Homo-oligomer: A and B are copies of this chain.
């Protein structure tokens, strides 16, 4: 009994058992109308009795289309991303699809390789959020050429026409800045992310326009361009800002990590939050509610974005939407006001 691998039951086994042809079995199992009611019932019962499990590989091969949705993101272990994945997974599974994940670690080459791998495994659609390094989205064309839907989420390319599920980053940046203005802040700094990623560019644009709309002239010294928006970068920038002779009275950070580091750095330097420095972040990560004072932030409907992405893919398969059409879904964000920016009560 070295190999007690139980024999796997196939439709051929059912066919033999009942003296029907495999095609009848196949059809009966999918409730095809051309098979008699009684026959269908009998076949389905026998299938269950024998412990039949469909081999989806075979079906996928024949249909040239798997039931797998691919996810291509930068890093799994980030609150926003893991919630996004969670949303994709839930809705995909509910529809009978599996989810393949791949992470690029914010590396362009990895992203290209992962796109290849997902393509080769014949995913029926892909949900993608670009790496920090990605400036060219040609590696997604292979999917479009085969009419495999690509849904870009959050970090989307500017040069490729495809589905998008995004938030209105401009408006979010505008709202965040306006909130600070309404709290009485006038010298508002901004932590901006890499500008080739439009999410960061748009947030910055919203910031600038909000300032202007309220009669504040943007000060270049208060606009900090960052690389990865890490905790360290945030600390350093905050320290620099606070040591200016005319320091800012608020910071709008494009992510929560840097915003939290700003809070911690400010406290370390004895700067009171929000009285002397109001802070608002972006994403509404769990740490936002934990840091003290609690960090105001822009909430990002991550889970929902995942669900909508799945929906786009499934719709594409159903409707046979024409190629080249790009349907863009823009979701609302919300300003979550917490203590870190609440000057007026």
Q: What is A's interface to B at a CB cutoff of 8 Å?
A: 2-6, 8, 53-58, 60-61, 64, 66-68, 75-79, 81-83, 85-86, 89-90, 93, 98-103, 105, 114, 116-122, 145-147, 260, 264, 286-287, 290-292, 322-323
Contact = CB atoms under 8 A, between A and B. Distances in A.
A64 B89 CA distance: 25
Contacts of A322: 2
A228 to B, nearest CB: 16
8 contacts: A6-B146, A56-B120, A58-B61, A61-B61, A77-B86, A89-B101, A286-B286, A291-B291
B89 A102 contact: yes
A5 B145 contact: yes
A83 B89 contact: no
A54 to B, nearest CB: 6
B89 A76 contact: yes
B286 A56 contact: no
A100 B98 contact: yes
Given A77-B82, A121-B68, A122-B57, A5 B147 contact: yes
Contacts of A85: 76-77, 101
Contact of A122 (B55, B121, B145, B264): B55
B93 A114 contact: yes
A22 to B, nearest CB: 16
B68 A77 contact: no
Contacts of A2: 322
A117 B102 contact: no
A202 B157 CA distance: 49
A163 B116 CA distance: 31
Given A93-B117, A290-B290, A291-B290, A99 B101 contact: yes
Interface centre among A5, A77, A99, A120 (most CB of B within 10 A): A77
Interface centre among A3, A98, A120 (most CB of B within 10 A): A98
A66 B117 CA distance: 13
Contacts of A6: 145-146
A7 to B, nearest CB: 10
